[in-house]
Amino acid sequence: MPRRIVGIGGTLRANSSSELLARAVLAECARLGAETRMFGGPALAALPHFNPEEPARSPEQAALVAAVRAADALVIATPGYHGGVSGVVKNALDLLEDTRGDARVYFDGMPVGLIVSAAGWQAGGVTLAALRGIVHAMRGWPTPVGIALNSIEQKPFGPDGTIADAGVAQMVAVQAQQLMAFALAPVA
């Protein structure tokens, strides 16, 4: 049975660096035999705002929740905005509150690959740590390899949007391998 891996991330701009990195990890997972689905910036922008008093049940939210419920692993990618997760990514994660009553609550037992693209190393590191904290709170298992890209110093993408930097390509490959290895691994 193929592993199902869902990507969540990006910005309001289609094909942002964080979204392209998430798509690269998903493409590597697909190359290794996974079924993948991406909820990029435009899809995240279409989601309703999280309100615990009035749960939204839009078709977009239903699709996100259903995909996460069926997933064996996740990739979450965000820009590092002032040392924190972007609003659209955080909203998507908050909307997954619908899974709190499921047999598998939130991300319980799921490996989660984390990606941050920020305009500086400090913002990247702080945001990656914040994202790890969110995933731990949602009972997920962040992969050992987290990807933090300094978008000022690093220009990893070629003109066609594919990864042209060997170091970044290696991190993408390792994260994908970890997701594939940990997804569906027996839990002790």
Domain positions in the chain: 4-182
Which CATH code for domain 4-182? 3.40.50.360
Give residue 1's pLDDT.
73
- Compute the distance between CA of residue 35 and CA of residue 127 in angstroms, rounded to an integer: 28
Determine whether 1 is exposed, middle or buried from the number of CB atoms within 10 Å of its CB (0-12, 13-18, 19+). Answer: exposed
Give the pLDDT of residue 120.
83
Placement of tokens 């309001």 in the chain: 12
- Centre a 10 Å sphere on the Cβ of residue 158 and count the other Cβ atoms it contains: 10
- Of 106, 95, 162, nearest to 138 by C-alpha is 106
E strands of 63-110, at which residues? 73-81, 84-85
Digit-by-digit pLDDT tens for the chain (188 residues) are: 789 999 999 998 878 999 999 999 999 999 999 999 999 999 999 999 998 887 667 999 999 999 999 999 999 999 998 889 999 999 999 999 999 999 999 999 999 999 999 988 888 899 999 999 999 999 999 999 999 998 877 788 888 878 888 899 999 999 999 999 999 776 55
Q: What pLDDT sits at residue 90?
A: 96
3-state SS, residue 179 = helix
Sign, CA torsion 5/9/14/17: negative
C-alpha span between 11 and 40 (Å, rounded): 8
- Say what the pLDDT of residue 121 is: 83
